[in-house]
Amino acid sequence: MKKTLTVLFFLFIAAAVQATERSPQDILAASDAVRNPDHAFGLTNTLIEYRQGKQTESSTLAIYSKADVRGGQFRSLVRYVAPARDANKLILFSGKDMWFYDPTSQASIRLSPQQRLLGQASNGDVVTVNFAKDYRAESAVEEETQDGERRPRRCYKLGLSANSADAIYHRIEMWVDVGDSRPVKARFYTESGKLLKTAYYRRYQNAFGAERPTETVIIDGLEPDWVTVMRYTDWVKREVPETWLQRDYLPRFRPE
């Protein structure tokens, strides 16, 4: 009887540990929740690009995002604020339905998924993404890494593989803080295993009642001296009507 109770006790403990232990996919979803609000929002994304230590380009984007009620992935409308040559150009991201609109020629041009990858801070990087919707977290290994502020941080190192046709990258390694699920950094790879870019999520500040990264530093995989800083400001909770997220609305869109 005593032996049976002991076995039951250990089984109970094992089950309890199992219940509180998060799966890699849960960790990934928790880190998504740190980066992304659970409601529609707008923000300003300022991109500053450096090559060989010198600033070569900068642009400012106004981004309006909301999660799709059907699939959960974010859909976004991106508008160029600066530089002047690109002002008011729009890109609509709605899954595979992607359109570019140029107000000077009044032309709407359909974009292919491949065009999400163009640019170091690619079209796909500037918009909000729930990684857990497009990737399967296959492993989670605890280790220490240095964060974007160059401090050691205890993290889960997640191995992600694409499990949706909408996934931009083939494979991702992502470091997520063990304590608070903050994404710390990520490495993005091609199908052949080539490192495309490294991203550091840093400068956490309060936005919508939670600590969220307000800066992403992207380092090119092939040219490490090609660096892009993406800085997020002007976070605002706002309506993003469904009617905005279609090509017919692009010529009519005006900032509010």
Partner 1 sequence: MCTSVLHAALPQFCFVLLMALVTPARADDADALRLADEAPRTVARERDWRGFAEIGLGAADLRADGSTRKEQRVSLDLQVDHALSPQWRAVLADRLDVSSTAQHGGDKAINTLKEAYFSGRVTPDLLIDCGRINARYGVAMGYNPTDYFRGGALRSKVSIDPASLKENRQGSVLLRGQKLWDGGALTLLASPRISSEASSDGFSLDWGATNARSRAMLVLSAKFSEIVNPQFVVYKEEARSAQWGGNITGLIGQATVAYLEWSGGSGRSHWSAAVQQPASGTWRNRMSAGLTFTAQNKLSFTAEAQYDGAALADDAWRTLRAGSPLRYVQYRNWVAVAQELPTQRALFFRAFWQDALVPRFDLSAMVNVDLADNSRRAWLEARYRAEHIDYVLQWQGTRGAPMSNYGALPESWRWQVALKYYF
SS3 201: strand
Nearer to partner 1, 53 or 209 (CB): 53
DSSP E strands: which ranges in 124-170?
135-146, 152-162
Residue 216 beta carbon to partner 1: minimum distance, rounded to whole angstroms: 9
Query: Taking CB under 8 A as the rule, does residue 126 contact partner 1?
Result: no
Q: Considering all CA atoms of the chain, what is the largest pairwise distance in Å, rounded to the nearest integer?
A: 84
Residue 32 beta carbon to partner 1: minimum distance, rounded to whole angstroms: 21
Return the residue matching tokens 């199908």. 191
Nearer to partner 1, 16 or 109 (CB): 109
* Segment (H or E) for 165: none
Residue 48: count other Cβ atoms within 10 Å of its Cβ.
16
Return the residue matching tokens 């163009």. 118
CB contact set of 71 (below 8 Å; sequence gap of 6+): 95, 133
Residue 194 beta carbon to partner 1: minimum distance, rounded to whole angstroms: 11
Scan residues 70-99 and list those touching partner 1 (CB under 8 A).
81-85, 87-88, 94-97
Scan residues 206-225 and list those touching partner 1 (CB under 8 A).
215, 217, 219, 224-225
Scan residues 222-241 and list those touching partner 1 (CB under 8 A).
224-225, 227, 229, 231, 233-234, 241
Query: Taking CB under 8 A as the rule, does residue 113 contact partner 1?
Result: yes
